[in-house]
């Protein structure tokens, strides 16, 4: 799971595809300031907890699966309000 800056999920998802053979080693998380928080790549039936401080700036922060191709359907929105 990757939480991105507002309106950045598609771009980050496309960046994850472009990681190519380095993708698995990088957990399919591209190095970009558009990625705010992320988990490691999880195998089936595994879980991970992450703790983070929500952004101060109100907005719609997208989250998605950065495994190549998954970002198009495995996604949601974290709404930050004042």
pLDDT for 41: 87
Q: Per-residue pLDDT tens for 5-50?
A: 999 999 999 999 999 999 999 999 999 999 999 999 888 899 999 9
pLDDT for 33: 98
Domain of residue 62, CATH code:
2.60.40.420
Q: CB neighbours of 25 closer than 8 A, spacing ≥ 6? A: none
Domain that holds residue 10: 2-43+51-80
pLDDT for 42: 86
User: What's the full length of the chain, in residues?
Assistant: 82
- Whether 35 and 2 have beta carbons less than 8 Å apart is answered as yes
**Number of domains, the chain:** 1
pLDDT for 14: 96
């Amino acid at each position: 799971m990757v939480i991105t800056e507002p309106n950045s999920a598609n771009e980050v998802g496309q960046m994850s595809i472009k990681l190519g053979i380095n993708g698995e080693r990088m957990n399919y998380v591209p190095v970009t300031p558009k990625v705010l928080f992320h988990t490691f790549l999880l195998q089936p039936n595994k879980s991970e907890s992450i703790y983070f401080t929500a952004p101060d700036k109100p907005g719609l922060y997208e989250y998605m699966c950065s495994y190549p191709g998954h970002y198009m359907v495995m996604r949601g929105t974290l709404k930050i309000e004042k």
